[in-house]
Chain A
C-alpha cells in the first residue's frame, strides 16, 4: 500500500486536511464550550437531563430517526422497484413524480403537505364532507411528520439504490427463475442482498435525517410531537447556553456514528458484485399474479399523487399573495407575477444566485474529486489507520453547521501555521472550506458504497497485466463509479445553494451567497411578502436544481456509456436516471 507514491501523497494531504479543518477547529469550539474557564462543568448535562421538555424532544427525535430508517427504506425500495425492476405501465411518468423530492425540501415542502392535508387543506375538506364527525386537525402529530418526512427523503434511494439495482446480474435472476423461484423469492434472496451496501448507506442517512428533523415537526408536529433541533438552534445562538447545544449535538452525533458502526459491521464480508464471467443487463420483470399486479399498480399511482400534489400547489401558491398563502385561500383570479417581479428586480439581482452557484459547484466538485481516491483506499485497505481516518472524516456530522462555522472563525482569525500562517477570516476561501467540510461525510459514505459493488477481479486483472495504482483507478474504477459520483456531486451542489447557517458566519461581505438574501427577504417576522418570497425562491431553486439534474444526467450517461463500451465488460452503463437535488434536510447535519 505504501509503495505507491500516489497513496503517500494522498495520505499526507488527507492528514493535513483532517487536522487543519476537521479536528482543530471543532476541538477548539468544543473546548471553549465545555471548558469555559479551563475546567469542565457538568452544568449542561445536569440542566438537560432534568428538563422534561428536552428529554421528550430528544426521545421524539430518536423515535423519528428509527421509524424513518424503516419507512424510508420501505417506500424507497418500493418506488425504485416500480420504476426500475417491475414492468409497470407509465413507469417513466411515475419516475418523474417520485423524482420531485430531488428538487425541493425543508419548510416549503412541509407547507405543501399542509395545504393538502392540514385543517384547511383540500383533502381534509373533502374528507370532512364525507365524514362530518371527523377532526379537521387530524394531520398533526407523529404519524403525519413521519409520513411527510418519509415521502420527502426517498431521494437517496431514487439515486443510489436505482444505480445499484442496475448492477445486478440478470443471469442470476434468470437462473433462479428456471429453478422455480417466485418473484418474491428472487427479490428477497437475490436482488435485495446485492443492494445491501447501498441500502446500509442510505439507512444511515435516513437515521441522520430523522435525528435532525426540523421543519416537518415544526409545521406538522403540533404540541405533541416536537423534536430537539429547534432547541439546539436556539441554544447555539446564545453564548451562555451554547454548551447545551453542543452537548445535544454531540449526543445526536454519537448516535449517528454508532449507527454507522453497526452498518459498517453488517456490510463487512459480503460480496456485492456479480461473480459470473459474463454478466448481463437487468430486464424488467412482469408481476405474474394478476391481483398482486393490480395492487402494485394502484399503490404506485397513489404514491405518485402523494408526491406530486404538494409540488403543484407550491408552484401555484408562488403566484398568490402572502395573505392567501397563509390563510390557505387560493382564488384563480388572484394569481399574478408580482412575487416574481419583486424578487427578481431587487438591486442585488442575479448576483447572489451566481455567487451561490459558483461556491456550490466548486465545493461539490472538490468534495467528490478529493474523496474519490480516498474512498477507494478506505474501502480497499481495512486496518486501524483507515478506520480512524474514516471516523474522523465523519466529524462534520456531529456538530451543527453554526458551531462548525464558529470553530473555523475561532481557529483562523489569526495567522495559523496549519495554513501556512495565513488569516482565513474575511477571505472568500473560508466559506468554501466550510462547504467542502460539511459535505465530506455524505460524499464519503455514498462513494464507499459504490466502490463496494465494483467487481474486484477487474482490478486484479489489470494489476497482473502491470497497471499502476493510478492507472487502474483512472481507467477501470473511475468509469464504473462515475455515475454515482456525478449523482453525489449534484446532490451536494443542490443542498448548498440556499445554505444560511454556514454562510451567515463565513461569507465575504462583498460575495454574499443566496441564503443570506433569501433570509433577508423571507424572515421579516414572517411578514406578508416574506412568505410569498419563500415560495418564489423555492420555485427558482427548483428550476436551478432541475437544470443541474438534467445536465449531470445527460453528461454522466454519455460518458459512462463510452467508458464501459471501451472495454471493462461491466454493464453498469446507465447513469443515475435524473440525478437530483436532495431536499436540503436529507443530508443536513442535525
Chain B
C-alpha cells in the first residue's frame, strides 16, 4: 500500500518533470561567463557527434597541451541530442559540441543547456548561432549541404541547376541517389532546403501541396541508397551519377574512389549546417567548462582544427588560418535563406510524414 502510493507519487512527479520544459527558467537566467585564470585540470566530459576520422583524438591531445583534461563521448547527432535531453535531471556531460542548430534547439527547449557568452563572441556572426536573446549555443564550424554530380557524365552546362531539376527533367530521372531514411542531419537539411521554399501556413505541416509533390517526386524518381555503400562508390561503379553530400567530405572521397565530382549552386543558395558548442545546464564544473569553450572556440584552436580537417570555421579570425581553397569555396557560395524557427518546429513531423507516406 505504502509502496504503491510512493510509486504513484514518483510516477506523476517523474512525468511532470519530464514533460514540462524547464527552459524558461534556465534561459532567463544570466548568461554565464568564464572566470579568469588557468584551467584547473578537472576532467570534463564532452559529448559530440564530431569525433570521427581522428577528430576526437586530436582534440583530446590539443586540449591536454592547453591544460584541459577532457573525455570525449561520441554519438550520432540524434543519439547525442536524445542523451543530453534524457540526462537533464542529473547531467553527466559538461560540454557538448558538433550538433547543428536544429539539434541544439531541441536540447535547449528541454532545458538541458544553459546560456553563456564565450570570450570569442565578437568574432562570430551571431546569426549563425542561437538567434534568441539568451544564447545557449554558439557556432564553431560550417558545412554546406550540396548536390554533387559526376563530371564524367555531365558537363557543367548539362548538369542540374537545382534539386528540383532532378525529378522534373527526364535526363536526371533514375540517375540520382535518394535517401532511404531521414535519420541523418544531412538528409534532414536537404529536405529543409526544399520544403522551406513551399512554406504555406494553410498547407499540411506548414508546407503547400506543391511542396509535398516535390518530395513525392524525389522519392519516385531516385535510385535508393544502398546500406554501407558510399555514394562515391556507387558513382565510381556507374550505378548512379548524383547525390547529396556535405562539403567537407568531397576532396577525400574523390581521391579514394578516383572520381571527379562538381557541385550544383542553385540560385536560391545552399543550406548550411553549422556545428555549435554549448554548456550543459547543471554541470558542477561550469567554470572549467566555460574556460574550455573559450579555448576551443578561439581563433587559434579553430584555425588549427580547420587546417587539420579541411573545415570552414565560423570564427572570422580563424578563417585566416583555414585552407585557402576551403575559404575561397565558402566565399563564392550563396547561403540559402532558411527560416530555422519554422524548420525546427516542423522537422520532427516532416520526417515522420515523409517516412510514412513518401518513402518506398
Contact = CB atoms under 8 A, between A and B. Distances in A.
A54 interface: yes
Contact of B92 (A37, A425, A534): A425
A89 B24 CA distance: 75
Nearest to B76: A523
Interface in A44-71: 47-48, 50-54
A215 B86 CA distance: 27
Give the interface size class of chain A.
35 or more
Give the interface size class of chain B.
35 or more
B331 interface: no
Contacts of B82: 237, 239, 406, 505
A529 B184 CA distance: 19
B257 A327 contact: yes
Contacts, number: 170
A528 B351 contact: no
A4 interface: no
A526 interface: yes
B30 interface: no
Nearest to B233: A326
Given A230-B181, A323-B236, A47 B228 contact: no
A237 B92 contact: no
A47 B356 contact: yes
A327 B86 contact: no
Interface in B58-91: 60-61, 71, 73-76, 78-79, 82-83, 85-87, 89-90
A234 B252 CA distance: 28
B85 A54 contact: no
B56 A526 contact: no
Contacts of B165: none
B212 to A, nearest CB: 14
Contacts of A338: none
A37 B19 contact: yes
A281 interface: no
B52 A410 contact: no
A24 B7 CA distance: 9
Interface in B26-46: 43, 45
Contact of B86 (A406, A509, A531): A406
Nearest to B230: A526
B187 to A, nearest CB: 10
A554 interface: no
Contacts of B257: 323, 326-327, 528
A239 B181 contact: no
B278 to A, nearest CB: 17
B355 A218 contact: no
Contact of A409 (B15, B19, B86, B360): B86
B74 A235 contact: no
Contacts of B227: 107, 215, 218-219
A521 B57 CA distance: 12
Contacts of B237: 120, 327-328
Interface stretch (A28-36, A296-304, A450-458, A567-575): A28-36
B352 interface: yes
B183 A531 contact: no
B332 interface: no
B236 A534 contact: no
Nearest to B47: A509
A504 B226 contact: no
Contact of A239 (B45, B60, B348): B348
Contacts of A252: none
Contacts of B349: 240
B228 A107 contact: yes
A308 interface: no
Interface in B241-293: 246, 249, 252-253, 256-258
Interface stretch (A147-155, A413-421, A436-444): A413-421
B122 interface: no
Interface in A495-532: 504-505, 507, 509-510, 512, 516, 519-521, 523-531
Contact of B60 (A53, A347, A505): A347
A178 B76 CA distance: 66
A54 B7 CA distance: 36
Given A527-B253, A528-B252, 11 more contacts: A24-B7, A28-B11, A35-B15, A53-B359, A230-B181, A240-B348, A414-B89, A425-B92, A505-B79, A509-B73, A525-B246
Q: Which 5 A-B pairs have the closest CB atoms?
A: A240-B348, A326-B233, A51-B356, A218-B227, A524-B52
Interface of B: 6-7, 10-11, 14-15, 18-19, 43, 45, 51-53, 56-57, 60-61, 71, 73-76, 78-79, 82-83, 85-87, 89-90, 92-93, 106, 180-184, 186, 224, 226-230, 233, 236-237, 246, 249, 252-253, 256-258, 348-349, 351-352, 355-357, 359-360
21 contacts: A120-B237, A215-B227, A231-B355, A234-B355, A237-B82, A238-B78, A239-B348, A326-B228, A326-B229, A326-B257, A406-B82, A410-B14, A410-B18, A413-B87, A413-B90, A426-B92, A519-B74, A519-B76, A525-B246, A526-B228, A527-B230
